Amino acid sequence: MPPPSIVSKLPRVGTTIFTVMSSLATELGAVNLGQGFPDYPMNEELIALVSEAMKSGFNQYAHMNGLPALCAVLAEKFHDLYGTSVDPRSQITITPGGTYAIYTALTTILRPGDEVIVFEPAYDSYIPNIEINGAIPVRIDLRFPDYQVDWPEVRRRITPKTRAIMINSPHNPTGSVLSAADMEELRAIVRDTEIFIISDEVYEHLIFDDIPHQSILRYPDLLERSFVSFSFGKVYHCTGWKLGYSVSSPDLMNEFRKVHQFNCFSCHTPSQVALSKFLTNKESYLSLGTFMQKKRDFFHDRMLASRFTPLPSRGSYFQLYKYDRISDESDKDLAIRITKEYGVATIPVSAFYQSGKDDKVIRFCFAKKEETLEKAAERLIKI
């Protein structure tokens, strides 16, 4: 008897470009500026605090919602940064990463046939997360080359089936950020509707040039209809921890936790204990933007001698470059050729569009040691 067959819930999903490029970089020994993770050590104090927590016996399940001490320090942070009062008991849930928080939020609200507005280029998990819940992604391109939201187009694309709008600021892959004017547009669009907001803010502290982060948490009326996702791994250079959190209104968070409790239930306790202490030092997060901006500027300055043309990076740890002065080949072909011929791995931005839209732009991750960025730039200026 043959084994049972399976009908894929994600029939169009295969191996991601991130896996392809990282594997190619490993195979060829290339400098990997493709996938978004640091190659430098995380904070030694935070490592020591995790070790201390484990030695002190904090090795069993934490509360399903998250360690109360950690949720309390996060609520204090929100009040200091955004002037918003968040109840740490009913509005914050610690999750195994920001991507998980986004998936759980979508699973909480979506029913088959619902529509979700997604801006492209988009982080690669968004559309599969929507589709696996039986919902329909409504894709709207950000305006090239500044990658800003076309709000009149958003209004045109809203229908009675629109269940949610997804936003991401600072933005992956482009490094663009939403402005206060953008947030006012969003407020006007969703006012007096049943539309939810899924806000991906995993690069919350990695924002540059003294630009204020326009978090949903600044806007209590938006928070009432939102799930806001954050990542400890992205901002504290420990992506392998897979630890983040979600913030919402009490009623929405109650529903979120119904999904969460049967999927993950509890997150790594020693890390939560460590972070609850580490975050009481506010400089631990207030200094992160300056730290990453120096890396952005270091890479930018060394790339000035190249034939690549930079697009503005105002947040995250990514920098886009046009290559129209170099080649008219596709961004994927160029990315593969650069890896093979020059020993630098990058990511083609067309991979962030379901249609494969190709504006001849590639993405570099500058969250690397200076010697890594120096080596990469030395090779790239030869192209």
- State the pLDDT at residue 37: 84
pLDDT confidence band for 193 (50 / 70 / 90): very high
**Are residues 124 and 157 both part of a single domain?**
yes
Q: Is 3 domain-assigned?
A: no
Instruction: Assess whether 260 and 293 both reside in one domain.
Output: no
**pLDDT over 90 (residue 18):** no
- Residue 364 sits in a domain of what CATH number? 3.90.1150.10
pLDDT digits (tens, 9 = 90+) for 135-173: 999 999 999 999 999 999 999 999 999 999 999 999 999
Does 182 share its domain with 197?
Answer: yes
- Write down the pLDDT at residue 15: 76
- Domain range holding 347? 17-42+286-380
62 and 267 in contact (C-beta within 8 Å)? yes
Same domain, 87 and 110: yes
Q: Would 295 be classed as within a structural domain?
A: yes
- Same domain membership, residue 251 and residue 188: yes
Q: What angle do CA 259, 231, 187 make, to 5 degrees?
A: 75
Q: What is the pLDDT of residues 249-258, one digit of tens each?
A: 999 999 999 9
- State pTM to two decimals: 0.96
Q: How many independent structural domains does the chain possess? A: 2
- 7 inside domain: no
Angle CA 136–137–140, to nearest 5: 145
Average pLDDT over residues 215-228: 98
For the segment 291-327, what is each residue's pLDDT rounded down to a tens digit?
A: 999 999 999 999 999 999 999 999 999 999 999 999 9
Q: Are residues 249 and 360 in the same domain?
A: no
Residue 163 lies in a domain: yes
130 and 150 inside one domain: yes
48 part of a folded domain: no
Q: Where are the extended beta strands (E) located within the chain?
A: 31-32, 92-95, 115-120, 136-141, 162-168, 196-200, 226-231, 244-248, 309-310, 318-322, 344-345, 347-348, 361-365
- 317 and 241, same structural domain? no
Q: Does residue 255 contact residue 219 with C-beta atoms inside 8 Å?
A: no
CATH assignment of the domain containing 100? 3.40.640.10
- pLDDT bin (cut points 50, 70, 90) of residue 35 is confident
Per residue in 235-294, pLDDT tens?
Answer: 899 999 999 999 999 999 999 999 999 999 999 999 999 999 999 999 999 999 999 999
User: Does residue 2 lie in a domain region?
Assistant: no
User: Do 201 and 321 fall into the same domain?
Assistant: no
Does some domain include residue 188? yes
Residue 120, beta-bridge partner list: 141
232 in the same domain as 316: no
Give yes or no for a contact between 93 and 253, defined as CB atoms under 8 angstroms apart.
Answer: yes
| Same structural domain, 328 and 232 | no
- Say if residue 277 is in the same domain as residue 335: no
**Tokens encoding 75:** 């609520």
* DSSP state letter for 144: T
